[in-house]
Structures are given as C-alpha cells and as structure tokens.
Amino acid sequence: MKTLAMISGVTATIALLAGCAGGPSRSEAEYRQLAMETFKRDFQTKGQANYERLTADELQQACNAHGNNPPEAIAKKLSEAQYATIKRPADGKFMGDWKQGEKIAQSGRGFTWSDKATNPAGGNCYNCHQIGPNESSYGTVGPSLLGYGKTRGDSAGMQEYVYSKIYNSKAFNVCSEMPRFGHAGALNEQQIKHLVALLLDPASPVNK
C-alpha cells in the first residue's frame, strides 16, 4: 500500500512538472529526481507517516531506473534476494479462516497518520482485484481473483505459493505493483493465512 501510493505520487508529480516546465526538456530520470526532491522538501512527519517512506530500497531504485523492466541479470539477483526474505509459518500451516480473510481483503484501513500503528491494517485487496462474485466496485490494476482456488486447487504446494506471493510479491515478479505485505509488515502471519484461505478454500465465495 505504501509503495503503490508512493509510486502514484511520484508519477503524478513527474507529469505535473513535465507539463509546467519551460526551457529544454528533461529526461524522465531528471523529473523523477526533481519530484523526489520536492517530496522530501515538503514532507511533514505526522503520526506513523514518517520520512522513511520516501526512501526507495535497492529493488525500487532498480525498477525506477529501468522503467520497471531491469536487465535479466539484475532482476534475477533482486528476485532471489526478495525470495530469501519470506518468513513461512513455524507451524507449517498456510491456511486460516476465509471469513476473516474476506474482512481483511475488503478493508483499506491502515498506515495513514491518523491510524494507530498498533492497529492491524487491512489488505486493501479490492482496490486492485475483483474478489467476490457480487462486488459492485473493484480495481483492475491486478487480475480478477474469481475462481482462483477452483482452477488451481488447494494443495500444500499451492498454499505455500499463495502465502509467499502475498508475503512478498516481488520475489516472483521483481517490479510487481503488488505491495510486499509481509515483508513490509503491513500484514502479519495470521492475516496472510486468512487471505490464503479466502483464495483457496472451496467454501470461500471466491470459488463459488
């Protein structure tokens, strides 16, 4: 969530600066640097919205520098490093309660300055995906998740894959727009288990 908001903000600022700038045209990299300087200059820490949110890690820097399509060797190295960060459940179980997962998927709360840092955040999944068959509004940044488990099954291997993908999507697609929920601490282990159940449990509305 934080990453998506940051990317959207930078992109919008780049477009604004490009439209308003006079004189010789600048490269996208120069506009991006100018946008980041503007963010850093005007950003005000408030609540849990702190300055570190403006700092891109090595992976995000590489995606920014290469238009989300870094050279294969770089992408492979970064992807392997991200995969190594995935912390799987100590009990070896990847599925929780799909009913709890549905609540998490439909909640967009969390990480704003007015939210308490100790309160659990939502997954905000509906903002990018169609989840249930009766949803009237949903985002299309990501693919529809309808029938996800129905077409893929709920084997142990699939459960682990889905858990890992939610934990850190960039381990599988280095410049994915999907947030690194577990890696970033946006969702805890149990919340991710509930989302796995939402996607794979045959009783979940996703698979009806």
What is the signed CA dihedral for 146, 183, 127, 156, rounded to 10 degrees?
10
pLDDT, tens digit (0-9, with 9 covering 90-100), for 155-203? 999 999 999 999 999 999 999 999 999 999 999 999 999 999 999 999 9
- What superfamily does domain 98-207 belong to in CATH? Cytochrome c-like domain (1.10.760.10)
Going from N- to C-terminal start, the domains of the chain cover 2-55, 98-207
What is the Cα–Cα distance from 56 to 49, expressed in whole angstroms?
15
Q: For the purposes of burial, counting CB atoms within 10 Å of the CB of 35, is it exposed (0-12), middle (13-18) or buried (19 or more)?
A: buried
pTM attached to this predicted model: 0.79
Where do runs of H (alpha helix) occur along 43-119?
Answer: 58-65, 72-83, 98-105
104 vs 29, residue with greater confidence: 104
